[in-house]
Chains A and B, each alone.
Chain A
Amino acid sequence: MSRWTYVLSEAFIGLGRNLLMSIAVILSVAVSLTLLGAALLLSREVSLVADDWIGRIEVSIFLCDGQRCPEITPEQQAELESQLEAEPVVQSVAFESKEQAYTRFVELFDNQPDLIATLDEGVLPASFRVKLTDPERFAVIADRFDAFPGVEASVDPREVLDRLLNALNLVRYGAVLIALVQLVAGAVLIANTIRVAAFARREQTSVMKLVGASNWYIRLPFLLEGVLEGLIGGAVATALLRIFYPITKDELLSVVQFVPFIGVEEVWAVGAQITLLGVAIAVVSSLLSLQRSLDV
């Protein structure tokens, strides 16, 4: 039992002896882990939003209204609808008239009256809104119905979505990259404090070696000091993420409505991951540092 009190008290003495350095290390680790955690949370949010949108999007099949191609006849329209419904990948078909299309447009852009003013009421075409069982199989619909008499074009909204997701991914990779560079800096800082700590206690260490303390027993306090720095850094990062979670949520929801947002349990999960990573990095860099400064 006394050996554990020894290891613990030595580790805390080590932290306290070089308090400013320890704080610098903890902050550096915390900042890098916060960035990394934010990037991880962002990617969870992105995939959540993407899943939601992909599930909800519909393929639009625009019907000719005489502006760019001869207007669709009621027979052609009925034939198109029944063929669409017979298609196995099609889940449901809904008709949207020219009036409904305009109403929806007005609702969608009601904060941009200039845009609405430039659009005449009859310009937007009527369409079939087709929901697919598998949104990936849009090509089947395009192949079969683009040449159908009375059809102007079919549009897959996923192309637009993909561009948006690519932009988000770029942000995500950038954040991960910065986080990794920061993480390397944190690891080097930990290695350095451990070296300083080992040097400060070299007398004690040499006595321990000569009375036959095992290598692990000699190393454990230093290792624990590094682990504590990693652990506190991870905890600070988790707390920061938890603090920023509702702020980010409100911010996003005030800009875009009806967007799903990751639950707070995701913050805890990511917090656990980055804390574990912080501890792992601390262990590795402490051991490498001790390998050089404490060898038998």
Chain B
Amino acid sequence: MITLKNVTKTYKRGELGEVVALDDVSIEVAKGEFVFVVGPSGSGKSTLMKLLTREQLPDTGEVYVAGKNLNTLRAWKVPHLRRSIGYVFQDFKLLPNKTVYENVAFALQVIGANGTKIERRVPEVLELVGLEDKHDALPHELSGGQQQRVSVARAFVNSPRLMLCDEPTGNLDPNTSVGIMKLLDRINRTGTTVVMSTHDQQIVDTMRRRVIELENGTVIRDQARGVYGYTD
């Protein structure tokens, strides 16, 4: 599903010179996997996510997502790539003036889905995330956990093959986080690949899934059924 080959990405930071965000990183993620990406701030997690959605291109090395080489992908085909990726943000990024239903339907509307598909699919997904009774609520009327469920529903409504979750529990308390993780686990069991960056040690330790640890732009650990930090 995802292949990074010797990827290096640097940013120019004015007079400070260059900042190396990713340094010769190679990662392979198979279809249907659940992967945690951990590491301190500035370790390159966000850059990794941005490379996968082609918000940025690597300086050197190759990035493949869903069988597409993103280096050579034409700009006008980028929207099609993103339709096969569901993205969940730490800060939800819901549209404040739209209801729960409209926020989820929006993701289908803007890619030109027809009305019948929207009317069938949106209630289905809202039921999956457990918000079937909140269709008409506005985001500010919901708790943080509920808002993140809406955000997950929006990411999943188009049946993406890959879910990218950028610290989805970063703004939530531990109990609420467990609920979101159960939801992501369910989505993963439908065959969707999930890549999640996180700082949440408890979650990583509980889930016992593959863990990729980044530090200063390099992979220092890639462990199946791993935990958050070193335990030896």
A binding-site residues for B, Cβ under 8 Å: 1-3, 6, 203-204, 206-215, 217-218, 296
Contacts and interface: CB of A to CB of B under 8 A. Distances in A.
Given A6-B110, A211-B158, A212-B81, A204 B95 contact: yes
B79 A212 contact: yes
Going nearest first, the 3 A-B pairs with the smallest beta carbon separation are A212-B83, A212-B82, A213-B110
A1 B75 CA distance: 26
A188 to B, nearest CB: 28
B76 A215 contact: yes
A291 to B, nearest CB: 13
Given A2-B114, A6-B110, A211-B82, 11 more contacts: A1-B115, A203-B93, A206-B93, A207-B106, A210-B53, A210-B87, A211-B83, A211-B87, A212-B84, A215-B76, A215-B79
Nearest to B78: A296
Contacts of B76: 214-215
Contacts of B75: 215, 296
For the residues of A in contact with B, the DSSP-based class is helix
Contacts of A217: 110, 112
B161 interface: no
A211 B111 contact: yes
Contacts of B111: 211-214
Contacts of A2: 109, 114-115, 118
B13 interface: no
B9 interface: no
Contacts of A208: 110
Nearest to B94: A207
Contacts of B81: 212
A210 B110 CA distance: 11
B152 to A, nearest CB: 13
Contacts of A210: 53, 82, 87
Given A211-B82, A214-B79, A215-B76, A6 B109 contact: yes
Interface of B: 53, 55, 75-76, 78-85, 87, 93, 95, 106-107, 109-112, 114-115, 118, 154-155, 158
Contacts, number: 59
B149 to A, nearest CB: 16
28 contacts: A3-B109, A3-B112, A6-B109, A203-B95, A204-B95, A206-B93, A207-B95, A207-B107, A209-B82, A210-B53, A210-B82, A210-B87, A211-B82, A211-B106, A211-B110, A211-B111, A211-B154, A212-B79, A212-B83, A212-B110, A212-B111, A212-B158, A213-B110, A213-B111, A214-B111, A217-B112, A296-B55, A296-B78
A228 to B, nearest CB: 21
A284 B114 CA distance: 31
B131 to A, nearest CB: 18
Given A3-B112, A296-B75, A211 B107 contact: yes
A184 to B, nearest CB: 30
Contacts of B82: 209-212
B162 to A, nearest CB: 12
B194 to A, nearest CB: 16
A218 B106 CA distance: 12
Contacts of A215: 75-76, 79
A182 B111 CA distance: 39
A2 B119 CA distance: 12
Contacts of A3: 109-110, 112
Nearest to A217: B110
B65 to A, nearest CB: 13
